[in-house]
Amino acid sequence: MIEVAIAGAAGRMGRTLVEAVETSGASIKVGAASVLGDDPTVGSDIGLLALGRPLGVVAKPSFESQVDAFSVLIDFTSPEATLGHLALCCRYGKAMVIGTTGFTPENLAAIDAAAQIIPIVMAPNFSVGVNLCLQLLRKAAEVLGDDVDIEISEAHHRFKKDAPSGTALKMGEVIAETLGRNLDEVAVYGREGKEPERDRKTIGFATVRAGDIVGDHTVTFASLGERVEITHKASSRMTFASGAVRAAEWVSSKPAGLYSMQHVLGLVE
C-alpha cells in the first residue's frame, strides 16, 4: 500500500487530489494532509472536507509530525511552500510529486539538487492529454520548422497567480528546443501599440485570467496560406489530479532523480 501526503489539502486542487487518491484503487491511500496554520480546517478530517466521509486523516499545519504516515508527498501549492516541503522530504527520504509552477531559476536549482537525494516527478501539467500534446508539438515544429509564425495562447481561472502558465512555458520550451532556439531570447509576452513586422523566430504568448476556467492551451503554427492548431482544454481538475496520482504510484519505487510526466507515461526513457 502506497501512502501519500497531500499539501494544501483544503484548497480546490488539494481536495481534488484527496478524492483522486481515494477513488483510484486499493494500492494507494491518503496518509497525511497539511493546510495553512491559520486555516479554519486545521484539525478537521480531510475526508469530510473532500469526500463527505471520514478518512481518519486530520489536516495539520505541518508534515513534521506526520512523516511516518506517507512515502510520497504530492504538492500543488506555492513555490515557497513547496521548497519547504522539499527540504522535509530530503531530510526524511520521501519521494515528491510537484505540480507547483512559478519557480525562479534559483528555486529550480534547489529542486535539481534535491533530486540527487530523493526521486521527484515535476511537471507543469499532469494531464495525460497535455503530455501527449507536447509530443505532437515536437513533431509539428520538426515538420513546419522556420516556415511558420508560432503563437501560444492560454486561459485559466481568475485565481491563478503566475502568467503565462507553466504549461504554456513548457510548450514554448519544447518548440524552441526542437527548432534550436533559446526561449528566453525569442519569447514575446504580449503586444501593444505599433511594432515592427513580426520576427518569425519569435514565439508569442497570450494570457487570459477569467472566471473558473480550468485550463485551455492552444499553439498556432501559421504560414501565409494555412495554419495548424494544437489545442488542449481541461474541464475538470480531476484530469490533473488523476495524473498526479499515477505519478505518485510510479515514483514510489524509483531511485533518486528528477523525472517528468513524460517519464511516467513512457513517452521518454
Annotated binding site for NADP(+), which residues? Answer: 60
Angle at Cα 18 formed by Cα 41 and Cα 50, nearest 5°? 50
The CATH 3.30.360.10 domain(s) of the chain lie at 128-234
Distance CA 246, CA 128 (A): 10
Average pLDDT over residues 90-106: 96
Return the higher-pLDDT residue of 194 and 105.
105
Return the higher-pLDDT residue of 120 and 49.
120
Annotated binding site for (S)-2,3,4,5-tetrahydrodipicolinate, which residues? Answer: 157, 166-167
Q: Identify the pLDDT of residue 190.
A: 84
Which residues sit opposite 221 in a β-bridge?
150, 228
Rounded to the nearest 10 degrees, the angle between the axes of helix 128-144 and helix 238-251 is 90
Q: Which of 175, 171, 167, 169 is nearest to 146 (CA)?
A: 175
Rounded to the nearest 10 degrees, the angle between the axes of helix 12-22 and helix 238-251 is 60
The CATH 3.40.50.720 domain(s) of the chain lie at 2-122+237-264
Distance CA 244, CA 252 (A): 12
Annotated binding site for NAD(+), which residues? Answer: 8-13, 99-101, 123-126
Local structure of 115: helix, strand or coil: coil
Which residues sit opposite 122 in a β-bridge?
98
Superfamily of domain 2-122+237-264: NAD(P)-binding Rossmann-like Domain (3.40.50.720)
Q: Identify the pLDDT of residue 130.
A: 94
Distance CA 228, CA 140 (A): 9
Q: Which CATH architecture has domain 128-234?
A: 2-Layer Sandwich (3.30)
Question: Which residues are catalytic, by number?
Answer: 156, 160
Average pLDDT over residues 100-126: 96
Q: Identify the pLDDT of residue 26.
A: 75
Distance CA 132, CA 138 (A): 10
How confident is the model over 149-190, as pLDDT tens digits? 999 999 999 999 899 999 999 999 999 999 999 999 999 998
Distance of CA 189 to the CA centre of its chain: 21
Distance CA 53, CA 45 (A): 9
Average pLDDT over residues 106-119: 98
Residues in the chain, overall count: 269
User: Which of 36-40, 85-89, 94-98 bottoms out in mean pLDDT, i.e. has the lowest?
Assistant: 36-40
